[in-house]
A and B are shown apart, each in its own frame.
Chain A
Amino acid sequence: MVTPQVSIKNLNFFYDSTQALKDITIDIPKGSVTALIGPSGCGKSTFLRTLNRMNDIIEGTRVEGTVEIDNRDIYAKDVDIVKLRKQVGMVFQKPNPFPKSIFDNVAYGPRIHGQKNRAKLQEIVEKSLVRAALWDEVKDRLHTKGTDLSGGQQQRLCIARTLAVDPEIVLMDEPTSALDPQATSKIEDLISELSGRYTIVIVTHNMQQAARVSDYTAFFYEGEIIEFGKTKQVFTVPQKKQTEEYLTGKFS
């Protein structure tokens, strides 16, 4: 296996007294695409949100165990959460562009991190939109509202916005579940393109999608990782009975 960028050890997660994640231990390799699959409510989104500490904003949650990114525990006391989220970007299930112009959407991150130089911002915005495969569609109307774009474009805008702060890891929480098949395939192409440069962790309900875009797959069930391995292996020769049953549609 390649060097792990994210190393999770004995991770337990609680909403008040309900345990949502049970003793999760996996290593996520650098530059790879890792898909998290499993039935609804199995904890895959919760797990994703532990990687950039987005669960912190929910009252009454508790984390045990360690999540190390580049050998540093992100739950340690001295961690700067701003820096962490800059390093670990996130794309949400429902495209959530801000009701600002396309330019301002992408420039939002760099701006809050202190970039004021207009030319520099311009450069970042263009580079990010190019990487998110949206540039050609919007380059002539950067000052129209991001919310006026189509759903698929909005999601790519959100990806561009995430890339603009130059993250190393990009978390995607069912990024195509609100999109039509065409927009979905564009996003999938984009994910393949971005892999290598970024470490991508993607939650998906769509098993074909997991098979298409990911290098590694983790199968979650009732808060536990039942199986984790190379996607090809998990999909063709699953080691666990539950994985096989899920993949063949025996339960969902």
Chain B
Amino acid sequence: MVVSRKSELPIFWLMRIVTYLIVLVTLYIVIDIVVGGLPAISWEFLTAMPQRSGTMGGIGPVILGTIYLIGGTAIIAIPLGIASAIYLAEYAKPTRFTNLIRLAITTLAGVPSIVFGLFGLGLFVLLFGLGTSVIAGSFTLACLIMPTIIVASEESIRAVPRAFREGALALGASKWQMIKTQVLPYSIPGMMTGSILGISRAAGETAPIMFTAAVFFTRSTPTLTKPVMALPFHLFTLSTQVPEIEKVRPMQYGTALVLISVVVGFSLIAVLVRTYYRSKYKW
């Protein structure tokens, strides 16, 4: 092993301490939520309707609402995001216009989520007449996370060696055949990483669904065209709109724990897909 020079040691230690600090903070949050939330978790809590402004009863439909929203977002954002990435990486000529598109995408990634919320309200809810609904919310969330997916996917497409492409083209593969057989299988892991990041973010966002999809309470079971209850929004209202805050504390923790679990669950699917493609198409 190479021994670090003395002068490098302080920097080295600084990095180490920062890393530990980050891990520690994350761990603290997770443990706090698990410890606070576990007592609240019961079959009833996971399945029943909320009662009395969420201070009693469960969060069954709320969970379902979030699953609908995340699922809808994934179905819209992942294919569109990957398609744009393929276009940008493989087909778009490097003109000023495509650079502009790229700039727009990276800028979008930094736009505050409330802006997406208002945009979704204007475009999907009002202009397209989708109303406050799962569909409108999913489209809004998809807009929010698409930049992340596009950027990550484009990177991973570009990382596929030129030799793979040339090998295929030289055998008479059409461009799309080349992309389908020699580029996509090898870039799917990177695409999945981008999708995981995006989906996790979408699952936790409150602002974009506040105006487009979520309501604090509805009796109807979730459907695509109706407003739904959703975990982050539920948590938000539990924390701000209920007078006796101490009484709902377990409910808040329980909801947070469930939200985190749902996010982890969705990420896990993407991780599985990634692992499968990594092992099958190792290079």
Name A's B-contacting residues (CB within 8 A).
52, 54, 57, 59, 82-86, 89-90, 92, 94, 96-99, 108-109, 112-113, 145, 147, 158, 161-162, 165
Contacts and interface: CB of A to CB of B under 8 A. Distances in A.
Contacts of B171: 85-86, 89, 108-109, 112, 161-162, 165
Contacts of B166: 54, 57, 92, 96
Interface residues of B, number: 22
Interface string B172-206: 11100100011000100000000000000000000
Interface of B: 93-94, 161, 163-174, 177, 181-182, 186, 281-283
27 contacts: A54-B166, A54-B170, A57-B169, A82-B173, A82-B174, A85-B169, A86-B172, A89-B170, A90-B170, A92-B166, A92-B167, A94-B163, A96-B161, A96-B163, A96-B166, A96-B167, A97-B167, A98-B182, A99-B186, A108-B171, A109-B172, A112-B172, A112-B173, A113-B172, A161-B167, A162-B171, A165-B172
Contact of B94 (A59, A90, A99, A108): A59
Contacts of B182: 98
Contacts, number: 64
B170 A99 contact: no
Given A96-B164, A165-B171, 17 more contacts: A57-B165, A59-B93, A59-B94, A83-B172, A85-B169, A90-B170, A92-B170, A94-B163, A97-B167, A98-B167, A108-B168, A108-B181, A112-B172, A112-B173, A112-B174, A112-B177, A161-B171
B254 to A, nearest CB: 46
A112 B181 contact: yes
Nearest to A83: B172
B169 to A, nearest CB: 7
Contact of B281 (A97, A99, A108, A112): A99
A62 B163 CA distance: 22
